[in-house]
Structure formats: structure tokens, C-alpha cells
Amino acid sequence: MTLTPEAPSASRCPVAHGFDALSDDYFTDPAAHFAKFRDETPVFFYPYLNAWIVNRREDVETVLADWQRFTSGGNSGTIDVPEQFRAIVPPDLITQMLVGSDPPSHTDHRFVAQRGFTKERMEALQPEIEARAHRVVDGFEARGSGNLVTDYALELTTQTIMAHMGLGYEHDAMMRQLRDDFAMILASAAEPMAEPLRTQVWQRYIDATLVLRRIIDERRENPGADLISDMAIVNDKDGNRMLSAAQIAVHLTEFAMAGVDSTTQAVSNAVLFLARNPETLAEAIEDPGLWQRVFEETVRRRPSSPFAARQAQQDIELGGAHIRKGDMVWLALASANTDPARCPHPFEFDIHRPEPENHLAFTQGRHTCLGQALARVQGATALKVLFERLPSLRPAAEVPLDFLPIALLPVRRTLPVTWDVADIERAKTKTARHMELTVLERCDESDGVVSLTLGHPDGGALPTWKPGAHIEVRLGDGDDALLRQYSLSSSPQDSTRWRIGVLREPDSRGGSQYVHDRLRDGATVTVGFPRNNFRLRPAARYVFVAGGIGITPILPMIAQAEADGARWELLYGGRTRASMAFLSELERFGDKITVCPQDETGLLDLRALLAEPTEDTLIYCCGPEPLLQAIEAASAHWPVGSLVTERFAAKKIVRTEPDVAFDVDFSRSGITATVPAGKSVLDVAEEIGIEALSSCKEGTCGTCEVRILAGRADHRDSILTPGEQERNETMMMCVSRAEKGCSKLVLDA
């Protein structure tokens, strides 16, 4: 773009010689660039933008607090809508954008929008933001290097605002382009666009806003739980819609930009600050509660938008400068946030400031950033996930000054980073992984059994898994949510779909009833990444035994055995034939399958099946506890390790002596603690702040498994085989304790 300097005159003094809002020095560190001029010229005229620059915090706050003398109308009133587009977007419509209007119009429009940006609602969105952040990292973590802006920050923030608006993936490309186009349109109020770029940008903007208007009209007829619906259905006191579809569409374009770029810039800037302050990074990784303070200090030190703009409504003197009515006034937020008169040690990156939110990154007064709650939740969550997964991530040795050359809204486009790919395996033991998936299909598989096929709504790839794996499913919301583990019964080769089968259990604690009664096609559920405590080991021959819903993990196992050319057979029992799920799916295997409904054939004849031990044969069994006890007895004469089982519920442990206290040395953490009777190792670890993943707390899911470095455990889990328990290599911290006579366990935690 071309800016024509205006020669300073006596009425346009003082000027700050050397100040350049498009210089490398400015883009490197806006606050430091401002600081060179703040004392001598707290308010100065900047000819290149034909605007006054206000540097000191006191003066900035004066302007922000007085909307009657300093209007926001100049932010949009000087935007020139091309003639050919004014029938669709008249100039007076553009002046109604939130950043470019004043009361009473601004008050009404903000009222309509603010319902979708409450602090409570943004905090409720945090789990979905975290799940999406993990998914974004999944897509690039194996590369070892990348562009943090486009690979992570921009991708996450775009997905989040899309989800908040309730827009599907078919609108993804449009909204990404709209974000960039609106930034240029907004900046054109002070920095005009040249042709042919001007027409190209406006044409795309018009096309997108027409699509948004149609969506708004549709949401008015069929509202959902999303931002567009929230705004579309608000009525005034007379029962009329407060805003037209055209007005709402303008605001959505604002949110498409502000809700994405501001947090993207903040996350990128935080990575740079943390690289210069490694002790702060280590502290935040150790205490995830500090990520909010990291975000606040980042936007204090370098606001994503270094300026806020106003227009003088009367002649006024400010900071020694004489500002005339109609003059544009640019408020240097980056300078105000680092004004030593209000902020001690302003250029230190200090996350322990007494008032971390005492800055103007989100401005203040009537135009305080509407989306600041979203930015705060999203920014802190993005940093937390990024360094949980890739703690070694650092900026590359050379970081280019690759910005969109817009003084008002400079946008960093590139931040090259590198990391150690060994972080991937390390993170799996420390980071709970969850995703938001959609129920793609629900099927009635038999009397009392439904299957749910889950996937990303965009058809994206799911994490890989192997036969025997299960996932944790969160059923419900808030403190009343239930966590349940269900085996994957689909094909591991299908990377886009996971299937689980769920038996309705009338006497259960409510999980199966929730699935049967509440989850339908299109429902969204939070699920964990696959874990496998029932892994299919290589063998020449397999004997599979399933009881009822225990068929679910066996299905991918027999498909794998068939593909590997192994010999195998399946004995499948159930109460009645009508209650046995997936029978039609098993028909293709012919006489390798023996179906035994109890009302037709009685109980499974396990002793006949397992009468003669066979070399190179493994027995895999899943089903209710009576079946597992029966097969353990029937296979007792087989070689140790031949039987592999998976239980639906914790194995009952009979204790003949009371528990006693013992010590645990958490070797990696360097802490030794006592585990008293009545508490688990996991309880104590959580109390002293040691990171430990957990889920079921019953010894059935395997989430809290940890390596034993010294000492012997009293294994009380339902996962490890007798052979594995005897080898004493790992234990489940939620239920297992030190063996009698062992006063200390040393664990790799």
C-alpha cells in the first residue's frame, strides 16, 4: 500500500522524528519503539497516517473514558465502500460495526452480541477448545518443526470461532478469507487499499456477508446453541428483532477477525517471550495454573492490537498537543501498558505482577473488547496444551519479521519453531487426551444393545489404535458427568470412524442408560484417546470366548487374526439369540464361529473347549465376571500367560489383613511420601502435586499405570495378567499398594 506523507505544519506539532509504525524496529517490539518518544513527545502528530499518537497511559485512559469528545465513529466512518457494492453494504451499515460506533447504537448492538461472550459461557467452552488444541497438535507434532502461526495458533482460533458460531466445515475456507479481508477493510479507514486489491477484497467480503445473512435467517427459524442463533433471536420491547440480518452479518465479520487474529498473535508472542525467559516457561509447565498469567503478561507487554483509534469531536489540548475537531487520534496501547509511571519494571516479563489484568490490551470503557473472555480462555488453553505436548518447543534461531504491513493491526504471518519429537512419547504418560466427536450413526444391534459410530464432523482422521483398545466416553456435563470405558469394535484400518457397543444395564450407575436414552445421530460426545490393556499378542492359534457385550473387543481381534492367517475359533455366548449383538457381522466367518444362546444350549462348555492345552495358542476372553471366573478355572492347567481377559468391572479382592502405611519414592519428582491406610498411591500423588493421569480409580482402565523401579507391589488391579503381576514391572496407582513386608516402593513418577 502507498501512504502519502503530509508535511507537518505549526498546527500539527509536535512530531516525533524517527517514529515509524512500519519500520522493522516497530514490528520487532512496538512498546520499545514507543518508549523512545514517550517522555519528550507524549502526544505527537504522525504525518504518514495523518493522526495524533497518544503515548502515556493517563492520556490514553482519558480518551478511552470520554466517548462524547472522542468518538469511535472515525474507525468506520472513513471506510470507503466501493460504489458497485453500496446497494448490498451501504456506508451507514459499515458505520454500525462495534469498533466504529458510539451510544446509543453501540449500546444496543453490543447488548445483542454480549450474550454469546459471557465469562461463564467462555469457560464452559474451554474443554472443547482444549480438545481441539490437542487435535491440531496431533496433525503436526511428528514433523519436529513448523510455522506456529499457521500450523497451530491460527488453526485453533479459527476452529474455535467457527464452533462458537455453529458454522460447519463447508464454511471454513470462506471464514478464513473473510477474516483477512475484513482486517484490510477496517485498516482502510486510515490506510487506503490500492486497486485491483480493493475491488477483490470487497467482492469477497460481499459474497461472504450474503452467505452469513442467509444463515442468520435460517437460525431465526431454527435456532441452536450458538452465537449466531443468540444474536438472531433477540427482540426489542415491542417484540421486533433488535438487529437485521445485515447488521448481525457485519458483527460476525468483526468477530471472525478479532476472535482469531488477536489470540493468534498473543500465543505467538508468548512463545517468543517464554524463549527469552526460560525460568518462567519451566514454572508454567510445572504449574499449569500459571498459563493464565503468562497470557496476561504477554498481552500487557505486547498487545495484539497495539493501537485503538478515536476521532476528536472538538478542539482539545492533550499531553501538550493541540488536537482539532475531526482529527484522528491513535491510542498507543503498547506504550500505555509499558508506561513506567503506572507499571514498575515495564519491560520485564513478570507473570507474578500483583494485578495481572491491569493493562489496556483489551482497552476499557464502553469499547472494552467484547471477546476478552474468549481470548483469555483460549489463549491460556492454547499455551497449556502446546507445552504439555511439546515442552521442548522453541522459536527457530532466526525469526523473520514477516508481518502484514498494517500499522493499526500488524499481523505476524510467520513464527518458525522447532521441537524434539521425543516429546510425543513423553506426553502420552502425562497428558490426558480428549476429543469432541459426533455420533455419525446409531444402530440397534440386538435386544438391549446399541452401537454408536463416532467421528470428526469434518471426516478427519482419528488417532490410530489396535485390536483390544478402548476409549473413555464422557456422558453428561459438569460435576454430574459420568466417565465410562467402551471397547472399540470397528476396524483399525478405518481411520475416520470408531464404533462402540453399549448394553443397557438397568442396575448400572446410569452410563448405559444415558447412552440409550440421550445419544442420537448428530450428538456430540467427549472421548479420550484409545488405550489398550487387552492387546492382541502374536500367536499361531487363538481361542476367542465372548459373553454378551464382551463380543465388542473380540470383533477386531478375529478380523486381525484372519488377516494374519492365524488359526482361530470363537465361542460366543449370550442369554438369548435376540440379545446377542453383531451376529450378522460374524456370519461371513462360517464354522469358525460357535453361537451358544443360553436358553437354547445352556452355559458355555469351557472345559470341553479347553480340555487339552495347545502350543502356540492364546485364549482371549471378555464378558461378565462369572464367565471370567469360569474360564480361569477351565484353563488353569494351561501354560502361564495363555489366558488374556478383560473385565467390565473391578475384580473383587479378598483381604485377610488390614492395610498398613508404606513409603513411596517418586523418583522423577524427587519426592518421598507416606501412603497411609485408607489412601491410595494415586491419592497421595495428587495431594503433593505430582502429575498422574487417572480415570476409573478402580484398577480397570489402566490410565494410572506406572513403572516400578524398586520394591514389590500388592497388585489389586483387574488388568495385569498373573504373569505380569509376578514380574512386578508396573502397577496401577489407584488400587495397588506395597506388598506385605515391603516398606518402600520406588516409582517412575
- b vs e for 43-78, b when ≥16 Cβ sit within 10 Å of the residue's Cβ? bbbbebbebbbbbbbebbbbbbeebebbbbbbbbbb
Which pLDDT tens digit goes with each residue over 357-392?
A: 999 998 887 667 878 888 999 999 999 999 999 999
Q: Taking residues 480-494, what's their average pLDDT?
A: 91
Q: 0.75 cut: is pTM over it? A: no
Structure confidence at residue 721 as a pLDDT band (50, 70, 90):
confident
- What local confidence, expressed as pLDDT, does residue 719 receive? 81
- What local confidence, expressed as pLDDT, does residue 120 receive? 81
Q: Strand 51-54 relative to strand 43-46: parallel, antiparallel, unpaired?
A: antiparallel
- What local confidence, expressed as pLDDT, does residue 9 receive? 42
CATH numeric code, 541-646: 3.40.50.80
- Of 186-190, 303-307, 459-463, 520-524, the range with the highest mean pLDDT is 520-524
Alpha helices in 429-526 (DSSP H): 511-518
**366 exposure class (CB count in 10 Å sphere: 0-12, 13-18, 19+):** middle
Domains 541-646 and 662-747 share a fold: no
CA distances from 524 to 13, 479, 504 (A): 60, 18, 20
All three cell numbers of 108, joined, read: 444496543
Q: Domain 24-421's class?
A: mainly alpha
Q: Which residue has the cell 507487554?
A: 301
- Are the CB atoms for 532 and 469 separated by under 8 Å? yes
- Are the CB atoms for 311 and 70 separated by under 8 Å? yes
208 backbone dihedrals φ, ψ, rounded to 5°: -70, -40
Task: Tell me how crowded residue 683 is: count the other CB atoms within 10 A of its CB.
Answer: 16
Q: Which residues contact 32 (CB under 8 A, 6 or more apart)?
A: 25, 347
All three cell numbers of 35, joined, read: 518508549
Q: Strand 394-395 relative to strand 416-418: parallel, antiparallel, unpaired?
A: antiparallel
Q: Residue 615: name the closest of 648, 642, 582 by CA.
A: 642
Q: Which residue has the cell 442463533?
A: 229
Q: Which residues contact 517 (CB under 8 A, 6 or more apart)?
A: none
Q: Residue 358: name the closest of 289, 281, 299 by CA.
A: 299
pLDDT averaged over every residue in the chain: 89
**611 exposure class (CB count in 10 Å sphere: 0-12, 13-18, 19+):** exposed
Structure confidence at residue 100 as a pLDDT band (50, 70, 90):
low
Whole-angstrom distance, CA of residue 330 vs CA of residue 67: 14
Domain boundaries, the chain: 24-421, 432-531, 541-646, 662-747
- Least confident among 63-67, 83-87, 323-327: 63-67
Alpha helices in 141-277 (DSSP H): 148, 154-165, 172-187, 197-221, 227-232, 245-276
Angle at 733 (CA atoms; ends 727, 737), nearest 5 degrees:
70
What architecture is domain 662-747? Roll (3.10)
Question: What's the DSSP call for residue 680?
Answer: -
- What local confidence, expressed as pLDDT, does residue 77 receive? 58
Which pLDDT tens digit goes with each residue over 307-345?
A: 888 889 999 999 989 999 999 999 999 999 999 999 999
Alpha helices in 277-371 (DSSP H): 278-286, 291-301, 333-337
Whole-angstrom distance, CA of residue 259 vs CA of residue 358: 21
Whether cis (ω within 30° of 0) applies to the bond prior to 104 is: yes
Q: Residue 618: name the closest of 714, 534, 687 by CA.
A: 534
Q: Is the pLDDT of residue 674 over 50?
A: yes
Which pLDDT tens digit goes with each residue over 390-413?
A: 999 999 999 999 988 777 678 899
Bridge partners for 710 per DSSP? 746
- What local confidence, expressed as pLDDT, does residue 601 receive? 94
- What local confidence, expressed as pLDDT, does residue 430 receive? 66
- Least confident among 1-10, 105-114, 162-171, 324-333: 1-10
Q: Taking residues 81-107, what's their average pLDDT?
A: 80
Structure confidence at residue 447 as a pLDDT band (50, 70, 90):
very high
- What local confidence, expressed as pLDDT, does residue 99 receive? 64
Whole-angstrom distance, CA of residue 680 vs CA of residue 697: 9
- What local confidence, expressed as pLDDT, does residue 5 receive? 40
Q: Strand 145-147 relative to strand 737-738: parallel, antiparallel, unpaired?
A: unpaired
Q: Is the pLDDT of residue 506 over 90?
A: no
- Least confident among 286-295, 336-345, 474-483: 474-483
Bridge partners for 543 per DSSP? 569, 619
- What local confidence, expressed as pLDDT, does residue 7 receive? 41
Structure confidence at residue 669 as a pLDDT band (50, 70, 90):
confident
Beta strand ranges found along 476-566 (DSSP E): 482-487, 498-503, 524-528, 541-547
Q: Residue 284: name the closest of 187, 351, 194, 359 by CA.
A: 351
Q: Is the pLDDT of residue 262 over 80?
A: yes
Q: Which residues contact 552 (CB under 8 A, 6 or more apart)?
A: 486, 487, 488, 489, 500, 501, 581, 582, 622
All three cell numbers of 642, joined, read: 495363555
- Least confident among 116-125, 329-338, 378-387, 458-467: 116-125
CATH number of 432-531, picked from 1.10.460.10, 3.40.47.10, 2.40.30.10, 2.60.40.1190: 2.40.30.10
Dihedral Cα 377, 378, 381, 383, nearest 10 deg: -130
Whole-angstrom distance, CA of residue 381 vs CA of residue 127: 9
